[in-house]
Chain A
Amino acid sequence: MNFYNEMYDADGGVREHYKRYEAWLKETPPERIERKRAEADLAFHRVGITFAVYGEEAGKERLIPFDIIPRIIPSKEWKAMERGMRQRVKALNIFLWDIYHDQEILKAGKIPAEQVLDNAQYRAVMKGVDVPAGIYAHIAGVDLVRAGAGEFYVLEDNLRVPSGVSYMLEDRKMMMRLFPELFARHKVAPVQHYPDMLLEKLRAVAPQGITDPTVVVLTPGAYNSAYFEHSFLAQQMGVELVEGRDLFVKNETVYMRTTQGPQRVDVIYRRIDDDFLDPLAFRADSALGVPGILKAYQAGNVTLSNAIGTGVADDKSIYPYVPEMIRFYLGEEPILNNVPTYMCRKKDDLAYVLDHLGELVVKEVHGAGGYGMLVGPASTKEQIEKFRQLLLAKPDGYIAQPTLALSNCPTFVEEGIAPRHLDLRPFVLSSGKCVNMVPGGLTRVALTKGSLVVNSSQGGGTKDTWVLED
């Protein structure tokens, strides 16, 4: 397979937007780079920018490998991507409002109703609930990949609790600390105002009548894999980081327990899945949630961000319909490509998928984090056979897509600098009519040679992402 290289063109020439960086890399002594890489490692450890890995020893924390070669995007390209994401997230938010209200899109037959209404992620309790400004996904993490000859595809829309933005910010901080001279040579669009932007959005969606809302970040706790990010965002926004046990509901109003007595909470940026939010409404065994919070939410006394029930819109079984949503709600042609998707619940699609397992990527409909997927070309016969059985047993639990030739970018690895595959997750913030994002996002890179899985839980690393201003 031929892969698009972010730094070099097909003839081995350096792409225009990488020329200055490449020149710097050539003239900088390898010892200096080596020293800087060690410095970065030490700093990340001391700062404790770590994540916990499920299945490993409890409480153990790992660093996410950080690569010092940035992923550079020229301004023109970014602008098109930005337009595409704005369009897409707008349509997804309208879709969410629609399926919990009039269900026009189902009535119009654009999406099979049972695909939505019988979806495990569809929350009937949200029917008829009016959320502030009609926005459900205030924070969306749109995963983009570059493939083929260089065009971008949306791999998935993360509308529940997308994570990784703290790495975007810390990577930038680290790059500026290690190599200030690079920023003098490039006009890199800043990203450090993300927490401000987020706080502004959260305040904007406070319940009606609240002029000076109390915003909090709700975390499952210090042992959660993304705890660093939760505490980081709370600190950067200057709001309380709370756990479920710090909150309680009285008269359909949410309070936190403080040293001065109960204090009302208006907006909750929750980093807990729907299932665990309220033991009275969802999973009764959840010790992370707040009993009664759903009632307070339905009564409009507190805003949850993101809203309950967004999972149905980023579900892999709904993903194939997003271009149709854009046409239906906005009357526009989609700017960003969807990856062609085989829905295994369809008989023909299933037959095709079973015949071509060795070429396709098969994903669990409700899976996330790189768990429960098969990358055909990189799998053994046994793994493929195992998936064949899984597919036959539960076809509607899976989708399949062609294995994309993900672009790669030069990356420091053990044997020196070598190309590694990457993706990009920009963070899209919505409130009312405004959809904003900081330029760039989190670039994740698969550090294993040939691997197409970039998730940090699967050994992926990160790179600083530069959008160059003209």
Chain B
Amino acid sequence: MLSRTADHLFWMSRYIERAENLARLLDVTWQMSLVPQSEAATNQSWAAIIALNSLEEAYAAKYSTVTGENVLRFMVSDPDNFSSIYSCLRMARENAHAVRGTLTTEMWETMNSTWLEAREKSFEQIANAGIGEFFEWVKMRSSLSRGTTLGTLLQDEAFHFIRLGTLLERADNTARILDVKYHVLRPHGEEEEATDFYQWGALLRSVSGFEVYRKVYRDVITPERVAELLILNSDMPRSLRFCLNGVVKNLELVANSHSGETLRQAGQLYSQLRYGRIDDMLKEGLHEWLTDFMDRIYLIGDGISKDFLVPMSEAA
């Protein structure tokens, strides 16, 4: 497969996954803001989203204060913000457009009509219709992209690069959601119990993990278990371990003569998740552990880029 084709496929799936995860993150933040709490605490959660995406400067250029509405407007439908849901859907479609012949008709039509619909939605329309509904729509469109991919695409190299993009992006995003929320929820010791329940519940729901949690633990929600579920569970599709397992598998399937080092790094990270314990991670400091994890995910993405996607030197 052409390196450039693989590159577009990889980024197409990353962007659609990113749009979905951003919708999830904004959704949980929005829901958490509905539970009675101090204004400072609410604004802190919104500021965290901007910080998480390293958008402080771009945001400050447009808005002087951090409020829920401003952050939503900026992250949902601002075309100038390359990290907004709007921009992610546009980039997903542009990448799909560049390789539309490689996609199945169903996949292309899904990507294209997602973008055509998104383009028509102004922030006012989205807010009036209920922003929660918009987040549901984004998640649904992402599910549809994944569904048409699984249901119609030949499982060859194209499929593997699409999966790599999806899983790498998701691992990064789950780590981010967990990091920012864990940080806000447990800055130091115990909080009021009732609030905790709603907050942790919202976090779980944002990764479709609420029912999963109940099934796995059949017990009350505790932060340690939430972390364990999202990091170490082998069967939870948005957990870090699940994602890394898929990354390693797909990397093995597309391996070429110089991708050994990237595969080693991915395998090493996966075995930490495969054999690690949540107690040790918490002892080390969850924030520190997650930061290190995100750095390594970045390096693996970079490795994939160098090994497969960026046109290789002619001598290779």
Contact = CB atoms under 8 A, between A and B. Distances in A.
Contact of A261 (B112, B157, B312): B312
Interface string A216-243: 0000001000000001101100001111
A245 B109 CA distance: 27
A240 B109 contact: no
B257 interface: yes
A45 interface: yes
A257 interface: yes
B31 interface: no
A257 B312 contact: yes
Nearest to B160: A259
B3 A232 contact: no
A381 to B, nearest CB: 44
B98 A245 contact: no
B112 A259 contact: no
B2 A257 contact: yes
A242 B98 CA distance: 10
A52 to B, nearest CB: 11
Interface in B294-316: 308-309, 311-312, 314, 316
Interface residues of A, number: 25
Interface stretch (B58-66, B100-108, B222-230): B100-108
Interface residues of B, number: 30
B314 A262 contact: yes
Given A240-B5, A246-B4, A258-B3, A48 B256 contact: no
Contacts of A2: none
A248 B254 contact: no
Dominant secondary structure of chain B at its interface with chain A: helix
Contacts of B109: 46-48
A35 interface: no
Given A248-B314, A250-B314, A258 B2 contact: yes
Contact of A235 (B97, B102, B257): B102
B47 to A, nearest CB: 35
B256 A46 contact: no
B66 to A, nearest CB: 33
B3 A246 contact: yes
B267 to A, nearest CB: 19
A400 interface: no
Contacts of B308: 259
Interface in A232-284: 232, 234-235, 240-243, 245-246, 248, 250, 255-262
Contacts of B113: 46
A222 B97 contact: yes
B51 interface: no
A400 to B, nearest CB: 42
A46 B257 CA distance: 40
Contacts of B6: 259
Contacts of B100: 48, 231, 235
Tell me which of B99, B100, B309 has the highest count of chain A C-beta atoms within 10 A of its own C-beta: B100
A374 B4 CA distance: 43
B1 A48 contact: no
Contacts of A235: 100-102
- Lowest 3 A-B CB distances belong to which pairs? A235-B101, A231-B101, A259-B308
Interface of B: 1-6, 94, 97-102, 105, 108-109, 112-113, 116, 157, 161, 254, 256-257, 308-309, 311-312, 314, 316
Interface of A: 45-48, 222, 231-232, 234-235, 240-243, 245-246, 248, 250, 255-262
30 contacts: A46-B109, A47-B105, A47-B109, A48-B97, A48-B108, A48-B109, A222-B94, A231-B100, A231-B101, A235-B100, A235-B101, A240-B2, A241-B99, A241-B101, A241-B102, A246-B3, A246-B4, A256-B2, A257-B4, A257-B311, A258-B1, A259-B3, A259-B6, A259-B256, A260-B1, A261-B256, A261-B312, A261-B316, A262-B312, A262-B316
